[in-house]
Amino acid sequence: MRVGVLTGGGDCPGLNAVLRAIVRKGVPAYGHEFVGFRDGWRGVLEGDVRPLGIPEVRGLLPRGGTVLGSSRTNPFATDDGVDRIRGTLAEREIDALIAIGGEDTLGVAARLHDDGVPVVGVPKTIDNDLGGTDYTFGFDTAVSIATEAIDRLHTTAESHHRVLIVEVMGRHAGWIAVHAGMAGGANAILIPERPFDVDQVQAWVESRFRAQYAPIIVVSEGAMPLGGAEVLQSGQTDAFGHARLGGVGDWLAHEIERRTGKEARTTVLGHVQRGGTPTARDRWLATRFGLHAIDAVQAGEWGMMAALRGTDIVMVPLLEATKELRLVDPALYAEAEVFFG
Ligand code: F6P
């Protein structure tokens, strides 16, 4: 078979490890040939390809980002998107597609499967908010980076008696904030799933200072105050209709300074969380997803996605995985709350 592979959406540590696993198994075990599409669905729409053989995946296991490039192109944003995709697959004699991505990229894959395109999915996102799988790769790396940042910020918070706010990624789900906040000993963790009460945050800050410590607050970019809205970096939206978030940390710092008279500063981790080499766990997960994805292609399991359930990799329908985002469980948040204030 000739198999096309693409990586779409925000880049994520572990993407290259998936490519390596797919090719390293697919060539010797099944005799498949691979074609890499550049920049996600854009490459499929425009027939923009690059070679993807064993020589091209050498050295990729620890490498961050994606050698295929990525974009947030949405083929369904144009009327002829599906026809153009079919055209590219026919022209390049491609028998199957492996789409590696998050809710948007895999949402497109699910719709294409409905239209009869032979596609298999691999879940990635640092946000860890994809349904159908316990974890996505990239998340563990993002949590490690955010935890290290929190550890480092504690010393400045204590030395200067400041409130330090760490703004982490997480558009709709607060997984990074909850995991890194718990690991880093945050005094408040604010997540999109639970609008926060600024009076309560102020009370936590004041109680932390009374205990002769300085507060660290971890806030997801998508968190919002009760009765308020998400803080946007710009009014622009991407091809899937997502606004660019950012700024809730600064908003909160200003509010805390105004209410408490204590100096409050924000560190926005931004793309640092998505950069660099994947952790061992993300390499392990990405590699296993890649191996199971190419097995699924060989078995003709179209419309399925590799997923982690416990320690097993299983195949689940793309449609099921992309139906609903996986949000932070209130019981987990309650565990984190024990340490607030
Ligand atoms: O979807 C992953 C993610 O990192 C989100 O946490 C974040 O909101 C978004 O991507 C940022 O996207 P971009 O890098 O395109 O601005």
Residue minimizing CA distance to atom 10 of ligand 1: 10
Catalytic residues: 127
- Are 8 and 24 in a shared domain? yes
Residue 317 in any domain: the answer is yes
Q: What type of residue sits at position 165?
A: I
- Are 166 and 88 in a shared domain? no
Q: How confident is the model at residue 136 (pLDDT cuts 50, 70, 90)?
A: very high
Tens digit of pLDDT for each residue in 233-287? 888 899 999 999 999 999 999 999 999 999 999 999 999 999 999 999 999 999 9
- Are 227 and 101 in a shared domain? no
- Are 262 and 223 in a shared domain? yes
Pocket lining: 126 vs ligand 1, CB cutoff 6 Å:
yes
Residue 337 in any domain: the answer is no
Q: What is the pLDDT of residue 235?
A: 82
Q: How many domains does the chain divide into?
A: 2
Does the structure show a pLDDT above 90 at 321? yes
Tens digit of pLDDT for each residue in 158-182? 999 999 999 999 999 999 999 999 9
Q: Write down the mean pLDDT value for the chain.
A: 97
Q: What is the pLDDT of residue 234?
A: 85
- The number of the ligand 1 atom at minimal distance from the alpha carbon of 222 is 8
Tens digit of pLDDT for each residue in 230-245? 999 888 899 999 999 9
Residue 338 in any domain: the answer is no
Task: Give the mean model confidence (pLDDT) for residues 1-19.
Answer: 98
Residue 232 in any domain: the answer is yes
Residue minimizing CA distance to atom 3 of ligand 1: 10
- Are 43 and 129 in a shared domain? yes
Angle at 150 between CA 144 and CA 154, to 5 degrees: 150
End-to-end CA distance of the chain: 58
DSSP 71-110: ----GGGSTTHHHHHHHHHHHTT--EEEEEESHHHHHHHH
Structure tokens at 82: 């599906």
Distance CA 84, CA 79 (A): 10
Residue range(s) defining the domain that contains residue 30: 2-137+278-322
Q: Say which CATH number the domain at 86 has.
A: 3.40.50.450
